[in-house]
Structure 1
Amino acid sequence: MLPALRAFTDRLISLSAWLGTVALLFLVGVVLVDVVGRSFGSPLYGALDMETMAFVIVVFGGMALCDKQGGHICVDLFERYFSPRLNHLIDIVVDLLGGVIFMVIGYAVIKAAQLSAMLNLRTNLLGLPLAWFQWALVALALITGLALLLRAAEFIITGRSEHEVRRVE
């Protein structure tokens, strides 16, 4: 059961990273066209709308992959003074807490997306529906939350810790 859930979660993480990559490439293109256009006195209309919405996808799209690869900031000043068991417990608590935080973010944004859809809220210049990007944020936050909760479960079941995983990889 756990290996199948891990495979499914890894596919979701890959999908979210792919979406973040596409959004980043789009963002680079928008900035390039806008900057070149500004130098000729004709900036890209709606560039700020596109950049703001693309950043939502870039940030939350890469979050799960960053976490999976251990790319987040890790302050380990006291790690060497703690027992392996305490470090293992800290790893579990941190992943559980992170998973819950991302699930709460997802839940809160669900409410915001529903409100945006109901009120037909749109971006300032291009009139892009805000709800579309909020629903994307919900999905990406829930993927990150799922990945964190799954890793906590794996640490509990296998007895391995983040420190052992980092040493092995």
Structure 2
Amino acid sequence: MSFVSWLKAHYDEKGPVRWLAFLLELIAAVVLMALMLITCIDVVGRYVFNNPLPGSVELTQIGMALMVFAAMPVVTWRGGHIVVDLLDRYLHHYVVKGLALLSALVITASFYYLGNRIYQLGERSIRRGEVTEFLGISIGYFVQYIAIMSWFTAFGMITYGVYRIFFQDKSN
């Protein structure tokens, strides 16, 4: 089986979004593997050699940000968030759709404006030359990465999220 066939079989998205979803999940998976290796090296170094991995806490914090924010647009695009539907059974179909649309618009606006503010904070960190305490890694670029992923999340919610609200088959 070719890679393209495998990708089509395992990803429901269409066109370039399929490749973007794969790329973001690949980033999250590689970072998760790196976090696992960092943790293993740190624990073995700490307890066997009495010499922990320097900066492992910083690397873990950066890795967690990379992993979570790489997965967030894909989870949002697929509608994989937790949804509490206690009243859906009792409310009219149109009211439920209206509330879902309102929720999607609030989430989109929140992620968009959050991304704007985070990007500004990243620019300020770069201007000031802020770095991590032990390893001296510039944190501004990671902060801007978080902002960009927040914008992708907002875009995913407003496009496919709203599309799903109006056109998703009830059997799904």
- Could you state the TM-score of these two structures normalised by the residue count of structure 2? 0.83
CA shift at 1:68, angstroms?
2.9
CA shift at 1:12, angstroms?
3.3
2:30 maps to which residue? 22
CA shift at 1:153, angstroms?
4.2
- Of 129-138 and 114-123, deviating more is 129-138
* 1:50 is aligned to 2:59: yes
Cα distance in 2, alignment partners of residues 84 and 151 from structure 1: 20
- Please show how residues 1-169 of structure 1 align to structure 2 within 5 Å: 7-40=15-48, 41-155=50-164, 159-161=166-168, 164=169, 167-168=171-172
Contact 1:92 1:155 in 2 (8 A): no
Stretches of structure 1 lacking an aligned partner (at least 5 in a row): 1-5
Contact 1:113 1:135 in 2 (8 A): yes
Contact 2:115 2:151 in 1 (8 A): yes
| AA of the residue aligned to 1:42 | N
Measured at CA, do residues 151 and 69 of structure 1 come closer, stay the same or move farther in structure 2, by a change above 3 Å?
A: closer
CA shift at 1:71, angstroms?
2.5
CA shift at 1:130, angstroms?
0.4
Measured at CA, do residues 13 and 97 of structure 1 come closer, stay the same or move farther in structure 2, by a change above 3 Å?
A: farther
Name the Cα RMSD after superposition.
1.9
Contact 1:16 1:140 in 2 (8 A): no
Measured at CA, do residues 31 and 59 of structure 1 come closer, stay the same or move farther in structure 2, by a change above 3 Å?
A: same
Cα distance in 2, alignment partners of residues 152 and 67 from structure 1: 7
Deviation string, structure 1 residues 82-141 (Cα, Å, up to 9, x no partner): 111111112211111111111112111111111000000001110000012112111211
Stretches of structure 2 lacking an aligned partner (at least 5 in a row): 1-13
Measured at CA, do residues 114 and 50 of structure 1 come closer, stay the same or move farther in structure 2, by a change above 3 Å?
A: same
Contact 1:123 1:129 in 2 (8 A): yes
Contact 2:28 2:68 in 1 (8 A): yes
Identity %: 22
- Of 67-76 and 52-61, deviating more is 67-76
Cα distance in 2, alignment partners of residues 15 and 104 from structure 1: 25
CA shift at 1:18, angstroms?
2.2
CA shift at 1:57, angstroms?
0.9
Aligned pairs, number = 158
- Could you state the TM-score of these two structures normalised by the residue count of structure 1? 0.84
